[in-house]
Amino acid sequence: MCKLSQEQIVDGLKSLGLAQGGILLVHASLSSLGQVEGGAETVIEALLEALGPAGTLLMPTHPARDGRTFDVGAIPSDMGIVSETFRLRPGVLRSRHPYHPVAAFGARAEEMLGDHELSAVPDGPDTPYGRLIAQGGWVLLLGCDLDTLTLLHTVEAELDLPYLRELAMQYVDAHGKVQRLQIKRCPGEHRGGVLKFDRLFRQEGAMTVHRIGGAVCRLLSAPKAATIMRREMARDPFFALDDNPHCADCVRLRGKIRAAQLAQEDFRLTAPLWAVAEDCERALSLIQGEGISWVELDAGHLGTSPVALHELRDRLAKGGFGVAILRSQMGPPHVMAKLCTAASHLGAAYLHVAAPPQTAMTPAQLIDALRALAEVACENGISLLLGNRPGSLAETVEQLAALMVEVGSPHLKASYDPAGIAQVGGSPYYGGLYKGSLRRFVRHVVLRDVVAAEGRAAALGLGNGEVMEIISSLRCRCFDGFFCLWPLPGQGAMGLRAAARSFWQIMERI
Domain residue ranges in the chain: 6-235, 265-509
**How long a stretch of residues is the chain?**
510
What residues contact 198, with CB distance under 8 A and at least 6 apart?
145, 146, 207, 218
Residue 249 host element (H or E) = helix 248-262
Question: What's the rounded Cα separation, in Å, for the pair 342 and 504?
Answer: 33
**E-assigned strand segments in 355-400:** 383-387
Strands of 74-172, DSSP E: 93-94, 102-106, 138-142, 165-172
Question: pLDDT per position in the chain (510 positions), as tens?
Answer: 589 999 999 999 999 999 999 999 999 999 999 999 999 999 999 999 999 999 999 999 999 988 899 999 999 999 999 999 999 999 999 999 999 999 999 999 999 999 999 999 999 999 999 999 999 999 999 999 999 999 999 999 999 999 999 999 999 999 999 999 999 999 988 888 899 999 999 999 999 999 999 999 999 999 999 999 999 999 999 999 988 888 889 999 999 999 999 999 999 999 999 999 888 899 999 999 999 999 999 998 887 678 888 889 999 999 999 999 999 999 999 999 999 999 999 999 999 999 999 998 999 999 999 999 999 999 999 999 999 999 999 999 999 999 999 999 999 999 999 999 999 999 999 999 998 899 999 999 999 999 998 989 999 999 999 999 999 999 999 999 999 999 999 887 789 999 999 999 999 999
Predicted structure pTM score:
0.89
Q: Which CATH number fits domain 265-509: 3.40.50.11140, 3.20.20.150, 3.40.1580.10, 3.40.640.10?
A: 3.20.20.150
Rounded to whole angstroms, the Cα distance separating 352 from 354 reads: 7
Residue 144 CA to residue 11 CA, distance in Å, equals 19
